[in-house]
Amino acid sequence: MQDQVSDYLEFLTAEKGFSANTRAAYQNDLTQLREFLEPRAGIGSEGWRSVTVALLSDYVVSLRDRGYAATTVARKIAALKSFFGFLLDEKVLPEDPSEQLTSPKVGRPLPKVLSLEEVQTILAQPSRRLRTGETLRDDAMLQMLYATGMRVTELVSLNVDSVNLDGRLVRCVGKGSKERILPIHQTALTSIDAYIEFGRSSILRSIDEKALFLNSRGQRLTRQGFWLILKNYAQRAGVETNITPHILRHSFATHMLRGGAPLRNVQELLGHASIATTQVYTHLTSDHVRDEYIKAHPRAKEAPQAS
């Protein structure tokens, strides 16, 4: 069981960009869960496949009996739900036992989002360096991620035949093995075309390799590898936010909504099963509308008159 926990913690670092402290908190939460589950019948031999919603409910009850605050219980439930979602995506489990598990209602933090100027500055970084196979790849990856809003796992899982340059489309496989066909705008398409034509061949080591984005050894780039590349360019751009690939996804969604895209369309592009997941971005656009209103309305900055 610990092997899967270790894989998940690596995922948190590579894809989510979690800090060492946050990763340690998740590790403690999952260790506590594992220590609760292992003495139960069947867990030792079958591992996580033996976990049921009833066992998880018992675990939640035990947390409440021990006097944990609602916010702490909610965090621990969020950690286990994220973990089981990861096991489902990695096909370790045939179904998610935590899907029906309820959590105490507490305030949900809004996702971090970059400004349009910050995104543009980061995306401009690869073209400012010497033109090589790696910089062409980096340019194509960053443009693709922000053009489509796909997850980094989906990005690094792309094969050469996933991209239809003539149709301006890319086919990606998301959570639950669900396929999405996403449009690519011309700026991103130009970068991807340049990488495929001139960059990839200089990195390629085997003609049998199907992966679109390759590392320096000519193999498929990993989530961790992409995160390090993104982090490097963010530092070069002077963006101080603790950058992660998911922040670019959040920024894509928020910028699309601010530009007038319907919520349902953004939901489809992101591959969200429920529109409720996408609606979190409407809070960010509401803040944007309010700020723009205050800046634009001729009386918004006027001090109230004394009565």
Please identify every residue annotated as catalytic: 151, 175, 246, 249, 272, 281
Q: Is the dihedral of CA 170, 112, 100, 274 positive or negative?
A: negative
What amino acid is encoded at 286 in this protein?
A: S
Please provide residue 229's backbone torsions phi and psi, each rounded to the nearest 5 degrees. -65, -45
Q: Write the CA distances from 229 to 47, 70, 134, 137, integer angstroms.
A: 35, 38, 10, 11
List phi, psi (to 5°) of 220: -60, 130
The identity of residue 103, as a single letter, is S
Tokens 């609602």, residue? 70
**Tokens linked to 306:** 């004394």
Is the separation of the CB atoms in 143 and 191 below 8 Å? yes
- Tally the C-alpha atoms within 13 A of residue 122's C-alpha that lie toward its C-beta: 29
SS3 175: helix
